[in-house]
């Protein structure tokens, strides 16, 4: 894959949609100071056609017996009707904004001030959420590349590309990873003008960037890039791929962003290093990490790395160091994400059984698979250990045509209690408490009925995060939801405010 940056010499076609009529220009790539104008779509309809190579998971046929079971459950009222909304009494549905110009899969969320930034496989969308009951779209940027995991820090926005592209531009098309010229990695935008983001840098990373995590400092932003699934036929993604890429981005010169290290997290002999070799039973072998969450105030990070969960010291942010490693080859199939509690004496790991495209919230799969695993952190310093305590899974069975599994969530900042909100794809949004590590319990939920009753069509809440008094959910297939939680157990969180939130960079809410 060729190294390419947004301030390079390639000429690029940039499409600017400032009204319903499409204007096409030929631009030479600007200097680093000016940046490169991204394909900007206003809230008005636009005639853009994103590249089809980064589409959602294809619908899966199900048996006639499964269809009959779903129809029976619907008739009996055991599950909500198709697209019907149900929720607990302590949740209020304030707003829903459907997809607009970007019709790809909705992915992660980030927040800054009065704005929410929503990733989409076709680019990203910027919402003004100053009135949470009436979010307004102020920008939509067309820049295809799955899965467009998104974060913000100051005037910079970061976007992950984990699909093989023809180049690093926003006009690129899909291209096989077996071709040396293909590109995957991190893109950086200047968002000092939220209505007009500027594409300013791109950094290629080994095996692309499935997700990323920011470790912000005053002068620089360090980016931990998680990626996985190498192949001997991929010129720039060959095994072993047993670590993460670390990118250093100077805030005042983002065009100088570059990989500064590739720390090996799973040293060992063999083609895949020292990670989980993938024993029988459906556990994925470890060939990299899926996601990392950092708690900068405690110099800690937790990594969800396919077949392994890890605890890291990030005292030196450029050189994270593993201090404990755990596995669950009985109930965990794919370690997906991690969340610390506020005291940093617990970590919640999620298991994305079925890769997010399967129906796993049913009696057949049971309560311990496709669930959250709660681990206590015991000991001190580099001798700290992760100790398993219990599992949590939503207590409602979903239809066998609904993809449902533990996915992205965040803490709700309540002093003295461990409460989080979490997206479960078509399992909806769940608010649950794990103050007692051995006895977690759900305290609120929001759910829609299945997208379809005769196939498995992926949808539901990709990410559900608490930000300054409200829950925001990026719905995989439909759009953007805003919820309000009215519960005495979580009411104190309304008084806690942060200026910026990237959930995988957890703030110290009470410092």
Question: Could you report the per-residue pLDDT of 412-462, keeping only the tens digit for each?
Answer: 999 999 999 999 999 999 999 999 999 999 999 999 999 998 989 999 999
Contact between 244 and 226 under an 8 Å Cβ cutoff? The reply is yes
pTM: 0.91
Identify the three-state secondary structure at position 339.
Answer: strand
| pLDDT at residue 57, as a whole number | 66
Q: In angstroms, rounded to a whole number, what is the distance separating the alpha carbons of residues 373 and 445?
A: 19
pLDDT-derived band at 16 (thresholds 50, 70, 90) equals very low
Is 105's pLDDT higher than 80?
yes
Mean pLDDT of 47-56: 51
pLDDT tens figures, 119-129:
999 999 999 99
Q: Which of 113, 101, 3, 117 is nearest to 50 (CA)?
A: 101
Cα four-point dihedral sign 6, 231, 354, 392: negative
Q: Hunting for tokens 């500027």 — which residue is that? A: 198
Using DSSP bridges, classify how beta strands 198-204 and 211-216 pair: parallel, antiparallel or unpaired.
Answer: unpaired
What does residue 161 show for φ and ψ, rounded to 5 degrees? -120, 115
CA distances from residue 159 to 121, 149, 425 in whole angstroms, order as listed: 10, 6, 22
| pLDDT at residue 51, as a whole number | 58
Contact between 403 and 477 under an 8 Å Cβ cutoff? The reply is no
Q: Which of 394, 330, 336 is nearest to 360 (CA)?
A: 394
Least confident of 28-32, 66-70, 87-91, 464-468: 28-32
Least confident of 20-24, 67-71, 255-259, 479-483: 20-24
| pLDDT at residue 79, as a whole number | 87
Contact between 414 and 489 under an 8 Å Cβ cutoff? The reply is yes
Is 101's pLDDT higher than 70?
yes
- Tokens (6 digits) for 71: 């129809």
pLDDT-derived band at 26 (thresholds 50, 70, 90) equals very low
| pLDDT at residue 36, as a whole number | 38
Average per-residue pLDDT in the chain?
89
Is 49's pLDDT higher than 60?
no
What kind and span of H or E run contains 235? none
CA distances from residue 120 to 126, 141, 268, 464, 478 in whole angstroms, order as listed: 11, 10, 36, 15, 12
What's the first-to-final CA gap in the chain, in angstroms?
A: 44
Mean pLDDT of 490-496: 97
Is 20's pLDDT higher than 70?
no
- HSE-CB for 113 with a 13 A CA cutoff: 8
């Amino acid at each position: 894959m060729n190294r390419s940056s947004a301030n390079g010499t390639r000429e690029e076609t940039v499409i600017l949609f400032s009204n319903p009529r499409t204007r096409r220009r030929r631009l030479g790539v600007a200097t680093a100071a000016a940046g490169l104008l991204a394909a900007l779509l206003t809230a008005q309809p636009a005639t853009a056609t994103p590249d089809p190579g980064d589409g959602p998971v294809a619908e899966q046929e199900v048996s006639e017996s499964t269809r009959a079971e779903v129809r029976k459950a619907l008739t009996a009222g055991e599950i909500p009707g198709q697209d019907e909304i149900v929720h607990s009494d302590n949740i209020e549905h304030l707003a829903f904004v459907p997809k607009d110009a970007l019709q790809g899969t909705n992915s992660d969320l980030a927040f800054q001030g009065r704005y929410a930034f929503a990733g989409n496989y076709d680019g990203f969308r910027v919402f003004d959420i100053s009135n949470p009951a009436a979010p307004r779209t102020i920008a939509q940027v067309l820049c295809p590349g799955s899965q467009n995991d998104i974060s913000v820090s100051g005037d910079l926005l970061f976007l992950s590309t984990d699909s093989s592209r023809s180049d690093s531009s926003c006009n690129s098309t899909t291209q096989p990873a077996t071709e040396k010229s293909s590109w995957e990695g991190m893109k950086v935008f200047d968002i000092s003008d939220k209505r007009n983001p500027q594409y300013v840098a791109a950094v290629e990373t080994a095996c692309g960037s499935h997700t990323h995590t920011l470790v912000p400092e005053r002068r620089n932003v360090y980016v931990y890039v998680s990626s996985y699934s190498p192949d001997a036929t991929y010129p720039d993604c060959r095994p072993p791929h047993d670590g993460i890429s670390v990118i250093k981005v100077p805030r005042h010169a983002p065009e100088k962003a570059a990989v500064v290290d590739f720390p090996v997290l799973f040293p060992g002999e063999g083609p895949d290093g020292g990670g989980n070799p993938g024993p029988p039973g459906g556990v994925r072998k470890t060939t990299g990490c899926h996601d990392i969450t950092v708690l900068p105030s405690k110099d800690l990070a937790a990594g969800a790395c396919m077949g392994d969960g890890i605890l890291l010291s990030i005292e030196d942010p450029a050189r994270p160091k593993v201090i404990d490693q755990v596995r669950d080859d009985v109930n965990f199939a794919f370690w997906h994400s991690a969340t610390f509690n506020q005291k940093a004496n617990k970590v919640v790991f999620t298991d994305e059984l079925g890769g997010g495209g399967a129906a796993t919230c049913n009696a057949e799969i049971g309560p311990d698979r496709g669930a959250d695993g709660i681990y206590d952190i015991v000991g001190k310093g580099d001798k700290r250990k992760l100790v398993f305590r219990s599992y949590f899974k939503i207590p409602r069975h979903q239809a066998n045509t609904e993809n449902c599994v533990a996915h992205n969530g965040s803490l709700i900042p309540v002093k003295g209690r461990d409460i989080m909100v979490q997206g479960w794809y078509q399992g909806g949004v769940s608010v649950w408490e794990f103050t007692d590590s051995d006895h977690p319990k759900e305290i609120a939920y929001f759910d829609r009925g299945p997208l379809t009753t005769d196939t498995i069509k992926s949808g539901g809440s990709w990410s559900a995060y608490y930000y300054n008094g409200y829950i925001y959910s990026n719905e995989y297939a439909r759009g953007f939801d805003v919820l309000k939680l009215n519960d005495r157990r979580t009411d104190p969180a309304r008084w806690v405010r942060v200026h910026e939130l990237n959930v995988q960079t957890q703030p110290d809410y009470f410092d």
